Amino acid sequence: MLDTGARKFFQPYFTKLARMLVWLGLTPNAVTAAAFAMGLLGAAALYFDLREEALVLLWLSGLADVLDGTVARLTGRSSPFGALLDLIFDRIVEMGYITVMAARMPEARMASIFLLCSIIFSFSVFLASGALISKKTEKAFYYQPGLAERTETFLVFSLAILMPQSTALIFNIFTAMIVFTGIQRMAEVYGYLKKLQG
């Protein structure tokens, strides 16, 4: 929701930052790898209860994750493999944070499992929808908007880091949002395919 609605307001600033990365000679895949590394370091910091460091690394990872696509478009170096790396690395970082929270907070383990299951469901719908719907976007394939997107994930992780006693509740609410997003995207695909069939 926030990615779709707010991106146009922040994109000029992202473009300026991306131009700096291009000037430094960084490739899109290098920025993607940096986002991945910072995300994993953030999860490791959280495991050792370094919450402030985990929070900073989480958002630095998210910023780099936004910038890699902009760097790719500025340099004309967008690639299917880069899109694959971006999608997979994002999910691994999410798994890292959720796994660490489940390991450190037994009371949130079931909520963490439900959250992971909802992500698998929603991401499967997301990928299938991108393959089935033919719409031209600046991304590697069609990105459906939804209630729960990448920015919401970072906000949820931030709340869980800052309020560990409420992690289970936060995760359960977000699980419901992700499931709703998956159903929302399935409904869009159904409507799109039905329209194609006449």
Would you state the pLDDT for residue 57?
97
Residue 152 belongs to domain with CATH number = 1.20.120.1760
Domain count, the chain: 1
What is the C-alpha to C-alpha distance for residues 132 and 192, in angstroms, rounded to an integer? 9
Q: Write down the pTM of the prediction.
A: 0.86
Sorting pLDDT into bands at 50, 70 and 90, what band is 161?
very high
pLDDT per position as a tens digit, 93-141 = 999 999 999 999 999 999 999 999 999 999 999 888 877 776 655 555 5
The upper half-sphere exposure of residue 158, i.e. CA atoms within 13 Å in the direction of its Cβ, equals 14
pLDDT at 127: 85
pLDDT over 60 (residue 194):
yes
**Structural domain of 56:** 2-196
73: nearest Cα among 4, 141, 24, 22: 22
